[in-house]
Structure 1
Amino acid sequence: MLSPKSAETVRATLPAVGEAIGTITELFYRRMFEAHPELLRHLFNRGNQAAGTQRQALAGAIAAFATALVEQPGVRPDALLDRIAHKHASLGVSPAQYAIVHRHLSAAIAEVLGDAVTEDVAAAWDEVYWLMANALIEIERRLYAQQGVLAGDTWRPWTVVARVQETPHVVTFRIRPADGRPAPAFRAGQYVSVQVELADGARQIRQYSLTNAPGSTVRSFTVKRADGEQGGPVGEVSGQLHDHVRVGDVISVSAPYGDVVLDTTDTYTPLLLISAGIGCTPMVAMLEDLVDRGHQGPVTVVHADRSAADHALRVDQERLVTKLAHGAAHFWYERPEGEWPEAYTGLVDLSRVAVPEGAQVYLCGPLPFMRAVRARLLERGVRPSAVHYEVFGPDLWLAAQN
């Protein structure tokens, strides 16, 4: 909770900071990477930096956290903090790095806002930063402890034991710990970070959802080659994995993390698993888990893709749905093939999908898709708290969530 004096100062300056936050974060990253180029080479996603999406996510997170402090002083925005902390833990972020961020973020705020940053203003925004940073450090400490690793030391060697070409642009890698120790436990819906060394010596990191059941001794993750479509970054890491990683190779993989996980407390809860494109990956792990646990409630799978040929893991989704007591699957394709029904051509039509009372919904896919689906679900009476979503890449939605 902010001190009363700082709360008053932050409330008064929040509009000015919010208006300039994009400029502030751009300058912050430039300053920090000039002073610490190793962070850009070995920690931060260079593609997201080039596209500007990481700056947008940071700006949204800072603005959302500060707003929460002044508008709901007795409530900590745990959804925001947990999402960030899980991502940080998967990257191996350490407490010492928060001091580096503070130094360059404070300098950027002072440079952009100039004389408006009085001693009181600087002190108030320092308080905001360290409230957020210390909360994240504590959450990340617990996450590291749960995995039995030291803070920042999340990497282990894993051997690739199988490689499956799912579609021309999607590959599944099956891996086993190379050090002989047991694979760490995980929950359906979580992801791992994969670190690869590129041709220029940079060690870049990306997150990929685990696609197998939590009880399996072999882990699987599925990678779509990022080709820069729709303005996104070209995939340095996905390209390296597709082109160079083969059976027998050893790769560095983090412990599993992720806050969007399947609730396992009630085997009768109605579930909707809604995805688009490569967003099907966490849904497959959830289906595997539901089958293993003998889930008795209705489970409805909804997936949208360009075509059946582009639909990775479709066979797995269909196989698992048939094993559930009350499973159903609905697939929509933009470019259907053969005798595909017109009703399932084009965009997802949720009016064709039953939404049981009390359903829990899990979303994964492009942000516009998830926003549209969430809006339709709320119109049909689904509670906002029952809609859970996973974003691949910087979370540009969380700060704007209701």
Structure 2
Amino acid sequence: MLAQMESAAGLVLWRALVDARMWGDAPAARRRSLFHAPTEDVRDRFALACEEIPALAQAFGTFALMLRSPGLATSEQVGSACAQVHAWADTAGLRTVALLFAEAAAHADPENPAHANLAARSARRALMYDRAGTWHLRAYKLAVRSRNRTETVWALMGYGAMMKATDRIPEARRFLQRATRRAMAFGRKKEAAVAHHELMGIAVDQERYRLAELHVASAIALYPGDHPNLPALGHDFAFVLLRQKHCSAALPLLERAAPLIARPDERGLAMSSLAWAAAGAGRFTRLAEAERAALELVAIFDAHASAVFLHLAEAFRAAGDLDQAGRYADEAARIAQAKGDIQFVREAAEMRLQLREPNTRPQQDIPPGTRSLAILRDLTTRLKAWKRAPN
């Protein structure tokens, strides 16, 4: 925590994290005796933290109240404050800080399935799958017990996404399909859209592109116009096009979607895809620009580093520079091996084998079919009208 944030706000958040865990784990009757009223120095640090991160002023106020009057702070308030810090840290690319505060929210407000789902998603993004599985199970039990239909669906979707990430594809599809059915039965269109979005990813990995397009079309129809996932859907459908060598079609979609992606690690991934599309379309100046942007982002925000380097390897293979493609494939393999990421270890190995084949030729740029073009038009229209939505 302190290593990621060496500032007044970092110190305040570190103390708040410790205090929120203590507060959440203590019986209500003991909370009054946990803390002392903040000293003048502590109050000054809170004021500096509010100046440094104005978006967290409300959360800082709750943490200060927890110290001054722990009997007045409620589980809902403390849990909500921790969730606010999670949202800020997640957007800023501070994944460890985001995970710690998501889990603190779940501890502070232990009967709230939304916080348990939040902790599960954060652990999954941090590749802590055992930890994520525990939180998903807890979220599902809490959601069913409280008859919270939305969080029931989120727990099923999250568990399915975790199965996909650990290469357990049949289980992943089963949980995501179950989540889709529940969401539609409950009238939760947004959640159904997210489930279709996840199912699209499974179909692409299996090279079932027709099925992937059906899931994309369903997601486009079900996502509301301001949903924050729409730019990511734009990137992911562009990836479907790239996998089928439709580079010129993917390029304008990526040019529109990439700047709208808020998280810097995901934007780095989008820029590497843009480099791939530009290379395949013969736009080598744009390839160089996108490559530089992707490298600058992944050097700091490396959650998708293996995928970024694989996309750059594809870009230089498409450009005919097999030596540079090989260097990027080697880097992708090294990172995937270090992280224990089974899927990318396999993909990097396949890429390196392909690059060693004699007479390897640059990728062709193939125009997409009528069905793909229709989806491309619909998605481009939605992105043109998209307004940045709150998380």
Calculate the TM-score normalised by the size of structure 2: 0.24
Point out which structure has higher relative CO (alpha carbons under 8 A, 6+ apart).
Answer: 1
Calculate the TM-score normalised by the size of structure 1: 0.23
Query: Which structure carries more helix by proportion?
Result: 2
